[in-house]
């Protein structure tokens, strides 16, 4: 699913109006009807509805919603920013004229309605086309709504929230919605943590915009969809063997930090790699073989930490970082290995860098320039800030993520509630599987194991990162349903990975002729 800019959304609306064909006011009616369906499914007649409607098409949506709810015998009050036809969009004016027995009033900054926890507030002041922060009466209304305890539903976009960068906005001039019902495609700003207090829980409503024009929009931002990613997993051939599914090497672990290595190896095995080798300190080989008997062990010469990167020519993918620590032998081994790759002294398969491998890079003078093009890095926000410098918010961090992917020719997977995967071609994909229960130690190590497993099986690096994030999140969602978010552990994610893959296989089998 594409994430579109306000300009692109406007183009999609215009094309649909011209080619469906449908009158713009009828398209507004369709959008309002979709909102009302969601509202009546969640809120009964005991709540009084208060609609704040602006002068543009977002206000027109609000007026249409108010009329429909009134027809369903909800108690509705409407407060307009203006009722002057010269200051209303044509479709908003039409919907104002359709109210008949509903009598809206023009909002007065000095006499705004009392809002209680029993009220349902519909925010329809300004939508996706807003180009400047709220001020004057709209800002006063936003602050009034935010001070209340009412349930707030924003239509399309919370008023005052831009669809991209909100860095310079004062939070009191943005409506804090409990829920946001957005039309057709999600907005970019919905995916950043700093905007969660404004969007609340958001949902995308299909209002029937024509898919062919959406497909033609040049956006490079996408939301990963379950059906799309599941289709990337190819069914296994009857006469295949372990050699067909790659050999992954996971360079991980140190004394007292072997859990990270065990989790990565376990996740890699569970995600389908044909063979998995764990390169660990030689004093820890017995532990890794007991914890993961299916894996091969490659002992380092050092008993407690890693002091060398093995020859990787025989592997189809490798991951470096989980639990390795930052002691001097590890630093020398990693930086020496990367310098040898750059000078051609050594070769390697596709690589994943995580955890302390990234922290070592951030403390080296050359940083990400040491990485071979096509590598995958999987930082969490703090690790990313060490690599790229601190960012004031998620949007600015995302801008740096995109820039780094292009500059160094690498895939940057930035972990978070909506993990993002930026690729060198300028595209970015947002993952929507996963839940807060996955904010637990070892979860990132599991993700690394899944990604390197897919790489080893021959997946393209960008797809491996995207599918890895999706599979990791989907398994986490299953684990949360089984054990609760609070009780979820990284090991639970590994256990549920097979259940997600089984569901994909069952669908493949169903679609295969006998």
Whole-number Cα distances in Å, 419 to 225, 302, 359: 13, 35, 19
3-state SS, one letter per residue, for 435-470: CHHHCCCCHHHHHHHHHHHHHHCCCCHHHHHHHHHH
pLDDT at 513: 66
Beta bridge partners of 120: 49, 151
User: In the Cβ-directed half-sphere of 332, how many Cα atoms lie within 13 Å?
Assistant: 7
- Could you read off the pLDDT of 152-163 as tens digits, one per residue? 999 999 999 999
Please give the residue that has the higher pLDDT: either 365 or 405.
Answer: 405
Q: How confident is the model at residue 75 (pLDDT cuts 50, 70, 90)?
A: very high
Q: Is the pLDDT of residue 473 over 70?
A: yes
pLDDT at 22: 98
Domains of the chain plus CATH, in order, are 6-219 (3.40.50.10260), 246-504 (3.40.1190.20)
pLDDT at 450: 99
Q: Provide DSSP, 341-390.
A: HHHTS---S-EEE-THHHHHHHHSSSGGGGSPTT-EE---HHHHHHHH--
Please give the residue that has the higher pLDDT: either 326 or 129.
Answer: 326
| pTM, to two decimals | 0.96
- Could you read off the pLDDT of 20-59 as tens digits, one per residue? 999 999 999 999 999 999 999 999 999 999 999 999 999 9
pLDDT at 514: 58
Q: How confident is the model at residue 85 (pLDDT cuts 50, 70, 90)?
A: confident
- Could you read off the pLDDT of 475-506 as tens digits, one per residue? 999 999 999 999 999 999 999 999 999 999 99
What is the Cα–Cα distance from 99 to 64, expressed in whole angstroms?
Answer: 8
């Amino acid at each position: 699913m594409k994430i579109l800019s306000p300009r692109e959304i406007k183009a999609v609306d215009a094309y649909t109006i011209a080619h469906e064909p449908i009158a713009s006011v009828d398209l507004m009616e369709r959008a309002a009807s979709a909102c009302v369906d969601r509202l009546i499914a969640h809120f009964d007649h005991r709540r009084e509805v208060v609609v704040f409607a602006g002068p543009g098409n977002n206000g027109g949506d609000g007026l249409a919603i108010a009329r429909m709810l009134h027809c369903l015998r909800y108690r509705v009050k409407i407060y307009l920013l203006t009722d002057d036809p010269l200051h209303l969009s044509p479709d908003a004016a039409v919907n104002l004229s359709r109210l008949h027995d509903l009598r809206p009033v023009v909002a007065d900054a000095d006499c705004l309605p009392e809002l209680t926890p029993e009220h349902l507030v519909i925010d329809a002041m300004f939508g996706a086309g807003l180009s400047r922060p709220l001020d004057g009466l709209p800002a006063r209304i936003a602050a009034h709504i935010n001070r209340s305890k009412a349930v707030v539903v924003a239509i399309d976009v919370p008023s005052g929230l831009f669809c991209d960068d909100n860095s310079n906005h004062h939070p009191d001039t943005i409506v804090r919605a409990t829920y946001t019902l957005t039309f057709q495609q999600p907005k970019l700003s919905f995916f950043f943590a700093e905007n969660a207090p404004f969007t609340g829980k958001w949902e995308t409503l299909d209002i029937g915009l024509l898919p062919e024009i959406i497909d033609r929009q040049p956006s490079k931002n996408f939301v990963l969809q379950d059906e799309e990613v599941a289709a990337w997993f190819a069914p296994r051939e009857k006469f295949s063997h372990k050699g067909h599914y790659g050999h992954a090497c996971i360079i991980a672990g140190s004394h007292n930090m072997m859990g990270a290595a065990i989790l990565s190896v376990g996740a890699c095995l569970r995600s389908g790699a044909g063979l998995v080798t764990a390169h660990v300190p030689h004093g820890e080989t017995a532990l890794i073989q007991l914890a993961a008997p299916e894996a091969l062990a490659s002992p380092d010469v050092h008993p407690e930490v890693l002091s060398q990167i093995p020859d990787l020519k025989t592997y189809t993918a490798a991951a470096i970082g989980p639990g390795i620590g930052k002691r001097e032998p590890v630093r020398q081994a990693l930086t020496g290995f990367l310098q040898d790759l750059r000078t051609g002294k050594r070769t390697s398969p596709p690589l994943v860098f995580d955890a302390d491998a990234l922290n070592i890079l951030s403390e080296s003078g050359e940083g990400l320039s040491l990485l071979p093009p096509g590598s995958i890095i999987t930082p969490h926000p703090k690790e990313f800030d060490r690599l790229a410098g601190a960012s004031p918010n998620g949007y600015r961090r995302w801008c740096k993520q995109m820039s780094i992917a292009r500059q160094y020719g690498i895939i940057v997977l930035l972990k978070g509630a909506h993990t993002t995967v930026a690729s060198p071609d300028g595209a970015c994909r947002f993952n929507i599987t996963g839940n807060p229960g996955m904010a637990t130690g070892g979860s990132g190590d599991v993700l690394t194991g899944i990604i390197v497993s897919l790489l080893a099986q021959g997946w393209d690096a960008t797809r491996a990162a995207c599918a890895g994030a999706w599979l990791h999140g989907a398994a986490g969602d299953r684990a949360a349903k089984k054990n609760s978010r609070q009780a979820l552990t990284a090991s639970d994610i590994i256990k549920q990975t097979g259940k997600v893959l089984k569901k994909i296989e069952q669908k493949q089998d169903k679609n295969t002729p006998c």
